[in-house]
């Protein structure tokens, strides 16, 4: 190809050079150029993103690119790759561009209807599984399930768990249901649409409640990275004036749906540990439990036990 950039339209579909010095856009050359380009554009983890997007276009795994370095993708693949790179630089998250994100041993479908799963949230799943391990056929409720990454991961790892996943967004629930089918747990995950406990049948109780609620303060939304602020669902981010609105609602409404002695695990944002604990401490139903840190050492998950 005669051009010096894989993002420029090709003048010919011929995949090899015809004149001395002409660039051959092998997989290795494409990744090297794109990594440098994304770096200049300020994209985080540019090498990883370049690999994810190219692997998606070629229909292979990232690791497969290593053994295909000398392969020269055809112009159709190169055109698709060019379009994805341009959209990524324009601010679209890579997970939405490729339609998936890896989370806790599994790959989940994601669309703009759901929050993109983060590695930090794996802390919530890990601690939930520790609690559930000794239980027989535990009942679990995931509030605000989004993509279903928490509910499906728990059901996938705890084979006898019966999981309820609720969300106020019908579009999010459709994505979560597809993820449950994808990972073979659809028979053990029930999906309910509604706000908090509204869709839960009267008198039903759970052994464990988990949630990654919206916890970004409204004044901080504009400061989020553009790919988050402009593309991820606002309803999954907006935690009210101080970022704590959803925690107040949880503290005041869900205790009747948790078995006496049962546990609730909640993900929190930076600097919110004490504030969230204080909210729950004001209710006699709740006993404040430990806080669990994520891989970076930051407080990430707070625990509460129903005591009354």
Dihedral pair phi/psi, residue 127, rounded to 5°: -70, -35
* pLDDT tens readout for residues 265-274: 999 999 999 9
The proportion of the chain whose per-residue pLDDT surpasses 70, expressed as a percent, equals 93
* Residue numbers belonging to the annotated binding site for substrate: 212-215
CATH topology of domain 107-306: Rossmann fold (3.40.50)
* pLDDT tens readout for residues 111-152: 999 999 999 999 999 999 999 999 999 999 999 999 999 999
* Residue numbers belonging to the annotated binding site for S-adenosyl-L-methionine: 144-148, 167, 212
Question: Which CATH architecture is the domain 1-90 placed in?
Answer: Orthogonal Bundle (1.10)
* pLDDT tens readout for residues 84-111: 999 999 999 999 999 999 999 999 999 9
pLDDT at residue 8, rounded to an integer:
61
Nearest to 286 by CA among 258, 239, 299, 164: 258
How far apart, in Å, are the Cα atoms of 189 and each of 106, 108, 113, 209? 16, 15, 20, 14
Better pLDDT: 35 or 23? 35
What distance in Å separates the CA atoms of residue 235 and residue 250, rounded to the nearest whole number?
16
Mean pLDDT, the chain, whole residue set: 93
- What's the token pair of residue 34? 């794109």
Q: H helices within the chain, ranges in order?
A: 27-40, 46-58, 75-89, 94-98, 122-132, 149-157, 170-182, 226-229, 245-253, 273-281
pLDDT at residue 89, rounded to an integer:
95
CA atoms within 13 A on the CB side of 26: 10
Q: Indicate the pTM of the whole model.
A: 0.90
Q: Fold match between 1-90 and 107-306?
A: no
For the cut 60, the answer to whether the pLDDT of residue 13 exceeds it is no
Structural domain boundaries in the chain: 1-90, 107-306
Check: CB of residue 272 under 8 Å from CB of residue 243: yes
Nearest to 53 by CA among 21, 25, 85, 28: 85
């Amino acid at each position: 190809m005669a051009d010096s950039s894989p993002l420029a339209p090709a003048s010919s579909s011929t995949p090899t050079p015809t004149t001395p010095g002409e660039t051959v856009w092998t997989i290795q050359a494409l990744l090297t150029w794109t990594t440098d380009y994304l770096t200049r554009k300020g994209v985080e983890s540019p090498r990883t993103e370049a690999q994810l997007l190219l692997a998606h276009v070629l229909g292979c795994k990232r690791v497969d690119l290593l053994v295909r370095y000398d392969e020269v993708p055809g112009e159709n693949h190169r055109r698709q790759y060019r379009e994805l790179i341009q959209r990524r630089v324009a601010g679209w998250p890579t997970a939405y561009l490729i339609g998936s994100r890896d989370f806790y041993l599994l790959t989940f479908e994601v669309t703009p209807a759901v929050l993109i799963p983060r590695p930090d949230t794996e802390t919530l799943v890990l601690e939930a599984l520790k609690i559930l391990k000794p239980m027989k056929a535990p009942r679990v409720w995931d509030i605000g399930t989004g993509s279903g990454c928490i509910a499906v991961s728990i059901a996938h790892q705890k084979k006898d768990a019966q999981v309820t996943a609720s969300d106020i967004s019908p579009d999010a629930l459709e994505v979560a249901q597809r993820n449950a089918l994808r990972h073979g747990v659809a028979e053990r995950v029930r999906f309910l649409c509604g706000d908090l406990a509204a869709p839960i049948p009267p008198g039903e109780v759970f052994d464990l409640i988990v949630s990654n609620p919206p916890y970004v303060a409204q004044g901080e939304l504009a400061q989020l990275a553009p790919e988050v602020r402009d593309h991820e669902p606002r309803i999954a981010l907006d935690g009210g004036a101080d970022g704590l609105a959803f925690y107040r609602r949880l503290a005041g409404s869900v205790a009747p749906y948790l078995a006496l002695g049962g546990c609730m695990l909640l993900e929190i944002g930076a600097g919110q540990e004490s504030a969230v604990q204080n909210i729950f401490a004001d209710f006699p139903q709740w006993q404040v439990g430990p806080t669990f840190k994520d891989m970076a050492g930051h407080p990430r998950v707070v625990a509460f036990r129903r005591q009354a």
